[in-house]
Structure 1
Amino acid sequence: MIHKASSSIRRMAALALLLLLARAVFTSQTAAQEGSPPQLTVLAPAVHIRSGPATHYPPFDTLAQGTTVGIIGYNAETGWWQVVSRFGSPGWVSGNAALVAVNEAAVAAYSSPAVPQAVAPAFQPPPAVGIIVFQTASGGPIYAINQDGSNLRYLTTGLDPALSPDGQWVAFTRWDNPQIGALGSLWLINVDGSGERRVMEGVHQPKSPTWSPDGTQVILTMTYGEHLNTVSKCSGERPPRGATDVTVKVEGKDDVVYCYTLLPDPYWGLRRVNVASGQFEDLNYDTHSISPTWDPANPARLVYDGEWGLVSLDLSQGKSLPLTTDVQDRSPVFSPDGSKIAVTYRQDDHWEIHVLNAWCASPAAECAGGRVRLTASSYLTWVQQELNGQMPRSYHNASPAWSPDGSQIAFLTDRTGRWEIWVMDAVCASPGAGCGSNQRPLFPAGTLAGVPLQYHGVDERVLSWR
């Protein structure tokens, strides 16, 4: 009875909040109508909202015939109007009179020389022409698609596809079976689906290949040993990642003892492979050296996900240093200029995307304060879930991939109820300012119809963009 009453109170509070917001919106709209705000109405059966004021920018939303939206800007050079999409992000609509009609307030507001005309915002630079490869699931089909959503094509099957620096080849791995310690191999295939060949075989559970800046080598992670039995342990050291049933007790005055259980867990190492000859060498690594990413601006530097956070490895000297001390930093990916690293971050019970500086003053400094969280669920999301009778939860955002010019980040999200590929702006004026804005689907609706995506949080790299 108490539970039902509590649930009823929460629902009433949520409903009250939505009514309050609706009243605020209605009041705002009424005031706007009295002032005749600039508006645009769609005349054509449908028009695209694009990320920039021209047709070469990719579309990310559509307005149906008869839809009226407010205008927030105008580009005099191309004659396009800036509006707000249903995702809450700004976008651009053609000003062609056969497609849309604008009211007198819009003409007055944006034709007067005294009023500055809006231009494309700095955080929406023209997208570079590029190709994206993605897997539907670990070991499942791998596809390639043009950045604008055209030419979707099946390539092969495998794990963690990675495009070469010139965008011509895809490196990926395969396992003989899904069991711990299974043998696997490294493969290459052309982006048009031709020329598939095996580079190396007989390696245990290879995954996460990353290319050298010159495209001649690949470094991947692999299992080199494992403990197959459950282990219970008590010590003064902090529990490693993957520990369960953790308890903390104080012995004596200052001695802290951690007790925990380790489930069966493979150990992961690093191997560098020449893609032409298949020759390889095993690198200096930690017990868990996962998800390597090669610095595109420094061929001697590799960053990987280590035991206690991200680790920087000097390939010329074989020496490693801690980069971060947060065990929740997973699957690092360098930006094209090597200045930033995007990670899939374990945020309590879900995944989010963070970006941090590629160099840190010290591990404790967390990259000199350069960490920025790009994704988050809003409070209104939880309210709507509660009203729909659902358990409130934060949606997942994971597996980031940088655009070729570093201005955008593609990622996976389940915010619509299924896994989809979205994109957001990565350019930041300063930490927390303008970062992660303009989040929207990367491809037009229906582009990946019949191609379901999966993400299981096992350090898989679903996307690669060149």
Structure 2
Amino acid sequence: APARTLALGIRAALTLHTLPQAGAAVAATVPGSQVLWAEARSTDGRWLFVTYDELGARAWVAATAVKLLGEPDALPAMTLETAQADLAARASATSQPAGQAATAGARASLPGRSRVAQLNVRGGPGTDQPVLGQLTADQAVAVVGRSQAGEWLAIAWRQGAALEDKGPGWVAARYLEVTGDVAGLPILAQATTGVPSASSGLVGLSGKIAFQTAIGGDIYVVNADGSGSLRKVATGLDPAWSPAGARLAYARWDAPHGVYVLNLATGEEQRIATTERPRGPTWSSDGTRLAFSHKTGSYTCRITPTGCYPEDVIRQTFGGQECVDTPQGRYCISDFPEQSRDDTGLAQVTLADGAWLDLPSEQSTQSPDWRPRSEEILYRGKTGLQITAPGGATWPLVDNPDLSSPAWAPDGQRIAAQIYLHDHSDIFLLDAGGNIQQRLTAPASSFERAANNVAPTWSPDGRTILFLSDRAGAWRLYRMNADGTGQTRLLPQALADLSLHYDFAAERVASWGH
């Protein structure tokens, strides 16, 4: 079978072409969240030949519009002549002209026409998005998609060749006359502005949410439905509710440092483990044990353009010499600044007697999360996601260093995690085997800075995901359904006066308990 590599969109919408050329006909416009499989590349590496739907539809996407989870050179190269022959063969097989989408899976656009004298075309579905231009009265357009609720429509929009593949323009649906079924158009993004909710609470949600304002900052507790008061309960980092929701675990680096458990009913705080720089406490399903990462040692390396390496490794690269002459000049080991870094490992503590057990792990560990009703613990290692267990061994689940902050769903069959994509992070849904199933967050606009969506955590019923985002500028807590729909601010009034910080250090910002 031909090699395939997963490609993830880094824009709100992706324009797919029939040939690997900017001037080629548009085959389809798909959401940036859509899963693409790259099967080949153009000879210059600027285009990828991808499969983009369940029916096997194929087209070309600009390589700069996606993040390829693999090496581009591993894909077979396809010349323009071969691509043209392939397009002609697919068009002939489906009895379509070669300039049109050559698969049954491609969605046709709908004809539209402006109803008003001046209609703003924006870079995304919202009045907070930049104005790209205007439509005049009766100006005809091709409608290629819609927002989730349909209040905004995406149109084919070009403002010079340089912007050709940066995505569609967006107009308010009420001012556009469309011929055809708008509901059949693909959903390309969620609206960034709309009618405010009448209630600041989250109707239908239950349980308690604990969250931190920063690493080592204040930890607060609030009811998920907005009832009751917001309470500061501790200081520390990486809060985690116990399975029954009666106790809260967290780490603390200030003296006396260690892992702590707070009984919310009595207010009693107990240090259950004394260790250096603990992170990410996570509970066993029966609530009797806590696992966490901690500092196990340190080492010194020198920062080079390709990474931080010990001196002996650099010296070996230099052929056993202290300095080496290159076409760019003379480099010596002493030219590279020294940096001290920590080795980290995983440990488990039994709450009843404080018994300590070291867990098998890599020397670089982050974000441990205990799988529900299992002894397996998921964590981020040096090269991707790993799984370990008390008395077992550590083994790789996903080999991708851009994956971080994994969180098991309560059913133990799904994983929410964030992936770094070019210049921002988004949240994805994985199955228990580590395979990407769905992209849950995506940029709202192709023309503005892509927002970061990080630190996912699940509601106790597995129906909702809480996460942190800077989509509105400042870091705020958001919630969404488990399928990525219904993204909205968490308790905007109750949390309005709090300032939240995220340091991209794989911190667990929040935990949702019973």
The one-character-per-residue Cα deviations of 1:249-288 (angstroms, maximum 9, x if unpaired) are 9xxxxxxxxx999843211100101123222111111111
Q: 1:338 to 1:88 in 2, by over 3 A?
A: farther
Partner of 2:442: 376
Following the alignment from structure 1 to structure 2, what is the Cα–Cα distance between the partners of residues 420 and 402?
Answer: 17
In structure 1, the residue matched to 2:462 is 406
Residue 453 and residue 28 in structure 1: after superposition, are their counterparts in 2 closer, same or farther (change >3 A)?
closer
Matched, 1:184 2:299: no
**Alpha-carbon displacement from aligned partner over 1:405-451 (angstroms, at most 9, x marks no partner):** 1111110011111111101111xxxxxxxx312111121x3211321
Letter in 1 for 2:433: W
| Cα offset, 1:403, TM superposition | 1.0
Q: Does 1:198 align with 2:271?
A: yes
Does residue 173 in structure 1 map to residue 254 in structure 2? no
Gap change, CA 1:261 and 1:294, over 3 Å in 2: farther
Deviation at 1:92, TM superposition (A): 8.5
- TM-score, reference length from structure 2: 0.56
Give the distance between the partners of 2:400 and 2:337, measured in 1 at CA.
20
Task: Tell me the SS of whatever aligns to 2:134.
Answer: helix
Q: Equivalents in 1 of 2:303, 2:209: separation in Å? A: 42
Whether 2:513 is the aligned partner of 1:463: answer no
Q: List gaps (5 residues or longer) in structure 2.
A: 1-120, 124-129, 142-151, 153-170, 184-189, 318-332
- Give the match for residue 222 of structure 2: 145
Task: Give the letter aligned to residue 438 of structure 2.
Answer: V
Change (3 A) 1:240 1:191: farther
1:163 to partner: Cα distance: 0.4
Whole-Å Cα distance in 1 between the matches of residues 195 and 430 of structure 2?
A: 25
Report Cα offsets for 1:306-333 as digits up to 9, x if no partner.
Answer: 1110011133x42122100100111111
Please give the alpha-carbon distance, in whole angstroms, between the structure 1 residues aligned to 2:484 and 2:364. 30
Change (3 A) 1:225 1:147: same
Question: Hey, what does 1:255 align to over in structure 2?
Answer: none
**Alignment-derived partner of residue 236 in structure 2:** 158
Q: Tell me, in whole angstroms, the C-alpha distance in 1 between the residues paired with 2:261 and 2:415.
A: 25
CA distance in 2, matches of 1:329, 1:340: 15
1:77-131 CA-to-partner distances (Å, cap 9, x unmatched) read xxxxxxxx9746899989xxxxxxxxxxxxxxxxxxxxxxxxxxxxxx9845211
- Per the TM alignment, residue 395 of structure 1 is displaced from its structure 2 partner at its CA by 1.1
Normalization by structure 1: what TM-score?
A: 0.62
Aligned to 2:132: 17
Task: Please tell me the residue identity of whatever aligns with 2:439.
Answer: R
Task: Supply the distance in 2 between the matched residues of 1:87 and 1:13 (Cα, whole angstroms).
Answer: 12
1:281 counterpart (357, 377, 384) = 357
Tell me the SS of whatever aligns to 2:357.
Answer: strand
Cα distance in 1 for partners of 2:397, 2:204 equals 31
Distance 2:338 2:419 in 1: 22
Are the equivalent residues in 2 in contact too, given 1:240–1:308 (CA < 8 A)?
no
Paired residues of 2:404 and 2:506 also in contact (CA < 8 A)? yes
Letter matched to residue 458 of structure 2: W
Match of 1:394 in 2: 450
Q: Say whether 1:136 aligns with 2:136.
A: no
Deviates most, 342-351 or 329-338: 342-351
CA-to-partner distance for each residue in 1:5-59, whole Å, 9 max, x for gaps? xxxxxxx9977734249987789525789xxxxxxxxxxxxxxxxxxxxxxxxxx
Pairs aligned (count)? 325
Which amino acid in structure 1 is aligned with residue 508 of structure 2? R
Q: Which of 262, 265, 278 is residue 341 of structure 2 equivalent to?
A: 265
Describe the shift of the 1:27–1:275 C-alpha distance in structure 2 as closer, same or farther (beyond 3 A): closer
Aligned pairs for 1:173-252 within 5 A: 173-176=251-254, 184-191=257-264, 194-201=267-274, 203-230=275-302
Structure 1 CA distance for aligned equivalents of residues 196 and 219 of structure 2: 31
Residue identity (%)? 34
The 3-state SS of whatever aligns with 1:29 is helix
What is the CA-CA distance between 1:297 and the residue it aligns to?
Answer: 2.9
Distance 1:136 1:439 in 2: 21
Q: Which residue of 2 aligns with 1:453?
A: 500
Whole-angstrom distance in 2 between the partners of 1:93 and 1:206 = 42
Report the counterpart of residue 309 of structure 1 in structure 2.
384
Distance 1:89 1:264, change over 3 A: farther
Say if 2:411 is the partner of 1:332: no
C-alpha RMSD of the superposition: 3.8
Aligned partner of 2:418 in structure 1 is 344
Contact 2:294 2:344 survives alignment (8 Å) = yes
Q: 1:30 to 1:171 in 2, by over 3 A?
A: closer
Q: Is contact 1:168-1:191 (8 Å) kept?
A: yes
Q: Which amino acid aligns with 1:422?
A: Y
For residues 172 and 399 of structure 1, the distance between their equivalents in structure 2, rounded to whole angstroms, comes to 16
Q: 1:21 to 1:189 in 2, by over 3 A?
A: farther
Is contact 2:359-2:389 (8 Å) kept?
no
